[in-house]
Structure 1
């Protein structure tokens, strides 16, 4: 049993079930991110943990205690909202300690908790200001501080950075990461931003249409996605998913893909289990960084395949150059070094790291497991 247990949980609104038998165990000190597109059920699940939404069936337990039906104030959780939810008529200090005051915590203890957390978040000089006098980043720190002073069992974050500009989001992401590594708190964090999910989490639950599609570490989610949805949702640019055919050549399975001119080319698989798929159609998944120029190929890989193809579009992006070509009748993106010499309409010899390739069954779009 985990520190936070979500066991066979469903949520229905009338006849419509929006969350389907969710099972997640969160260990103490873990940073779990719930990620997925809008409407996938991630915020609903977070609100059920908080007690803001009722549970239709299943159980949610915190430290071994089932909290179904327990009032939010009795769960010892703290929540940081997207909107900050600060009281405009109170000072920063009053906002941060209001919850402690409502729980009857003596003033000396409140003052000490406030001083410790304000110093930790570097907002001690802001304690006498009102929220209207603060920047977005400062208000977010105050909202986090209000949660931290309570020393709860579980912290819940509901898209806390979505109202910030791009640079501030990166800065606050780093601050939240530092905070977690320092305090070892248990966090459940909701976002639709897969970069936030990858950089912050110790584990990720990828959600879609009320189902947990995959639960795993960022590396597991990125390298071995369980289906096409996870493969294309996680990663920027997304994984290339291309129509291909398995072809045995001298007893070794290869992916047969058509290039821009309609010629079939063969890329050797590292997964020998695909021999049983000889002659069958698959979906071939390759991350953009696994398709590059020969000099930029992974020196540690034991399976670099060569692919000659016509370049469609080049996109310089500072530290990288993205190259788009046609493979299997669809666009495929390669990620190359910034100084690589490439141009549209040029025939180029790509290096493909087939150790990083994954294969999906086109019928149900699930990964073909080695």
Structure 2
């Protein structure tokens, strides 16, 4: 049993089922991120943990205690909203202390808790200001401070950075990460931003269509996606997915892939014997952009680097990298090249593919094929 247990939890509105049977066990001190596109059920699940939405069937428990019938105020959780939800007529110090005051905490204890949270979040100089006088990042820190002083069992974050500009989102992401490392609090965090999910979490639940598609560590989600949705959703740029077929050549199992000029390239799988069981099978091959690069930029520690020549269709300089687009299996495929490589659109160039990083999917079920 975990610190926070979600067991067979569902949510329906009449005949419409928006969250299907969900099982997640969260240990104390974990940082779980619920990630997925709009309408996938992630905010609904967060609201069910908070008690803002009732569980239709199943159960949610915190520290072994079922939350069925327990009011949000009695769950010892603290929630940070996307909109900050600060009181405009109160100053920062009053906003942070408000929840403690409502729970009857004596003034000296309130003042001490506010001072400690303000120091931790570096907003001590803002305590006398009103929310309207603060930047978006400062308002978010105040909202986090209000949650911190409650000393809750679980922190719930509902897309807290989505209203911030790109640079501030990166800065606040770092602050939240440092805060978790320092306090080791239990956090459930909702976002549609897969970069936030990968950088903040200790575990990720990727959601789509009211189902948890995959639950795992960031590296498990990124390197071993359970299905094509997870593969395509996580990562920026996302994983390349293109048709291929499994064949045997010279005693090795290979992925046969058609290039734009109708020639075929054979990419040997590292696990030859296992993939040989799938010979003759059509698959969807998944390879991340960083595993398709220029030969000198390839992973020198891998024994599964394979080269082929292909036409370059587009180059996209991106500062530290250059993204290079070609065609494989009739699909656009993006590689991540070094910035100083002289690669130009309209020319043939040698590509290097790291097959250690390749993943095979069934084109019908869209599930990953086990080797």
TM-score (norm 2): 0.99
Counterpart in 2 of 1:60? Answer: 60
Gaps of 5+ in 1: none
- What is the distance in 1 between the residues matched to 2:67 and 2:303? 51
Deviation at 1:349, TM superposition (A): 1.1
- Residues 290-320 of structure 1 deviation map (CA, whole Å, 9 limit, x = unaligned): 0011100001111101121111011111000
1:323 counterpart SS class: strand
Matched residue, 1:328: 329
Map of 2:142 onto structure 1: 142
1:11 aligned partner: 11
- Distance, in Å, in 2 between the alignment partners of 1:68 and 1:296 is 55
Counterpart position of 1:35: 35
Q: 1:280-299 to 2 correspondence within 5 Å?
A: 280-299=281-300
Separation in structure 2 between the aligned mates of residue 338 and residue 358 of structure 1, nearest angstrom: 26
Partner deviation per Cα, 1:1-58 (whole Å, 9 max, x = no partner): 0000000000000011110100001100000000000000000000000000000000
User: How far off is 1:271 after superposition?
Assistant: 2.7
SS in 2 for 1:365: coil
Q: Does 1:80 align with 2:80?
A: yes
Q: Which residue of 2 aligns with 1:92?
A: 92
Mapped to 1, the partners of 2:201 and 2:110 lie a distance apart of 30
Distance, in Å, in 1 between the alignment partners of 2:69 and 2:332 is 50
Q: Which 4+ runs in 1 deviate beyond 4 A?
A: none
Q: Deviations over 1:92-151 (max 9, x none)?
A: 111111111111111111111011000100111111111111111100000000000000
After TM superposition, give the deviation of residue 342 of structure 1 in Å.
0.3
Alignment of 1:115-264 (within 5 A): 115-264=115-264
Q: Shift in Å at residue 229 of structure 1?
A: 0.2
Query: Helix, strand or coil for the counterpart of 1:55?
Result: coil
Q: Secondary structure at the match of 2:270?
A: coil
Q: More deviation in 244-253 or 194-203? A: 244-253
Residues 176-214 of structure 1: CA deviation (Å, up to 9, x unaligned) = 000000000000000000000000000000000000000
Q: CA deviation at 1:276?
A: 1.4
CA distance in 1: counterparts of 2:365 and 2:166, whole angstroms: 37
| Separation (CA, whole Å) in 1 of partners of 2:258 and 2:101 | 68
How far apart are the structure 2 equivalents of 1:278 and 1:53?
49
Aligned to 2:364: 363
Residue 346 of structure 2 is matched in structure 1 by 345
Q: Secondary structure at the match of 1:289?
A: helix
The aligned residue for residue 306 of structure 1 is: 307
The whole-number CA distance in structure 2 between the counterparts of 1:331 and 1:289 is: 15
Shift in Å, 1:61: 0.5
Stretch moving more, 206-215 or 264-273? 264-273
Match of 1:319 in 2: 320
Cα distance in structure 1, aligned partners of 2:317 and 2:210? 38
SS at match of 1:73: helix
Mapped partners of 1:253, 1:13: distance in 2:
49
Rounded to whole Å, the distance in 2 between the matches of 1:192 and 1:358 is: 24
Unaligned stretches of 5+ in structure 2?
none
Task: State the SS of the aligned residue for 2:104.
Answer: coil
CA distance in 1, matches of 2:12, 2:270: 44
The separation in 2 between residues aligned to 1:178 and 1:315, in whole angstroms, is: 33
* Mapped partners of 2:155, 2:370: distance in 1: 35
- SS of equivalent residue, structure 2 residue 86: coil
